[in-house]
Amino acid sequence: MSNHQSGSRSAAIAAELRDEILRGQYRQGERLPSERDLAERFGVHRSAVREALKGLEQLGVARIRPGGARVAPLEEASLDVVEHMLGLEDPPNPEMVDHVLEVMSGLFSLAARLCAERADTAQRAKIGELLGELEREEHSVADAVRLTQQLGDRFVEASRNMVLTLVRHGVKTHFMNSLEMPDEAAPEWSRAGHFRRLSQAIEAHDGLAASEAAYELTHAMRRHAVASLEAARGQHKRSETES
């Protein structure tokens, strides 16, 4: 077996074990099967299993100690694990999505406040144009979310805060890219005056008002996203029952 094939097999084994851990098939602190047992299960050399277990340790869902690998507390795992948790179900778990969007909401609100206080003239002009586009036109959910994410990027850029930039990039890359937005008509939150209030706060250099307007916007987005997911999951369950 080539190194590429071995690496691919190890990654596949790690992914299967990871999902079993995230689904609760192994409890916190429980010992995972031995390298020998896993090698027999997957039909591979023990070296491939060893690499797979190292991958789980890097993700933070397992700890390798003398005597074998054990399941680590989930709250101590790498942030990357959230992307995999979102992928466990289709549609994804609404509560998990709400937790992700809650984090994004906090970052968006902070970025809006710092932007209002720190943006230069050119940055305010570009943000004003984007807010004007969002306010003037009715967009589908997917387009409204895409444009709002662009707005968040502008806010973060204007914040001149490197840590906020890195955190938002990581959260957006690992979480938001995992969420598919429904192709629906313009949602209520895009027509509720949130963008106008944001625009006014940015123009007035009012960080507190910008933060509050950003929070109201993202809170409405969260409610809409969770309600849509719950409806989709209900429809999926009904389809399974009927079939």
Whole-structure pTM value: 0.81
Q: Which domains does the chain show, CATH number per domain? A: 3-73 (1.10.10.10), 82-242 (1.20.120.530)
Cβ atoms of 110 and 214 closer than 8 Å: no
Residue 65 has what pLDDT? 92
Closest C-alpha to 179, from 93, 240, 237, 60: 93
User: What span, in angstroms and rounded, lies between the C-alpha atoms of 187 and 143?
Assistant: 11
Residues 133-189: tens digit of each pLDDT: 988 877 887 788 888 889 999 999 999 999 999 988 877 766 665 566 555 666 777
Does the pLDDT value for residue 1 go beyond 60?
no
* pLDDT at position 186: 65
pLDDT value at 5 more than 60? no
Q: How far are the Cα atoms of 8, 20, 47, 167 from residue 25, in angstroms, in the given order?
A: 24, 5, 24, 31
Q: What is the pLDDT of residues 10-66, one digit of tens each?
A: 999 999 999 999 999 999 999 999 999 999 999 999 999 999 999 999 999 999 998
**What is the full DSSP assignment across the chain?**
--HHHHHHHHHHHHHHHHHHHHTTSS-TTPBPPPHHHHHHHHTS-HHHHHHHHHHHHHHTSEEEETTEEEEPPGGGS-TTHHHHHHTTSSSPPHHHHHHHHHHHHHHHHHHHHHHHHH--HHHHHHHHHHHHHHHHS---HHHHHHHHHHHHHHHHHHHT-HHHHHHHHHHHHHTGGGPPPP--SPPGGGGSSHHHHHHHHHHTT-HHHHHHHHHHHHHHHHHHHHHHHHHHHHHHHHHHHH-
- Residue-wise pLDDT tens digits, 99-139: 988 988 999 999 999 999 999 999 999 999 999 998 887 78
Q: Give the residues across from 69 on adjacent strands.
A: 64
Answer yes or no: is pLDDT of 88 > 60.
yes
